[in-house]
């Protein structure tokens, strides 16, 4: 079996970008979720604002996923 080194490195880079996006999202949402539930417990009328701040970190994994796909498809 012949291994093409540049394609193997691109696959590793894609995996790192996706994993980095997912780990970053999890770390951000853990802090935001904990503080958001504290805010919601005291002032339930702020639920919409808390939900908005909880959803913002979701863009991290989306960007990591898109970057991984771009690397795998060789667009750059």
Task: State pLDDT tens for residues 3-30.
Answer: 788 888 988 999 999 999 999 999 999 8
| pTM of the complete model | 0.75
Task: State pLDDT tens for residues 43-61.
Answer: 999 999 998 988 888 888 8
pLDDT, residue 6, reads 86
The encoded tokens of residue 40 equal: 């919601």
- 40-44 average pLDDT score: 93
């Amino acid at each position: 079996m012949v291994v093409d080194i540049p394609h193997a490195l691109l696959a590793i880079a894609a995996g790192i970008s996706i994993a980095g996006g997912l780990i970053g999202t999890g770390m951000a949402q853990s802090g935001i979720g904990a503080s958001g539930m504290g805010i919601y417990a005291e002032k339930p009328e702020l639920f919409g604002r808390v939900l908005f701040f909880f959803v913002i970190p979701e863009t991290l994994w989306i960007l990591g996923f898109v970057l991984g796909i771009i690397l795998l498809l060789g667009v750059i």
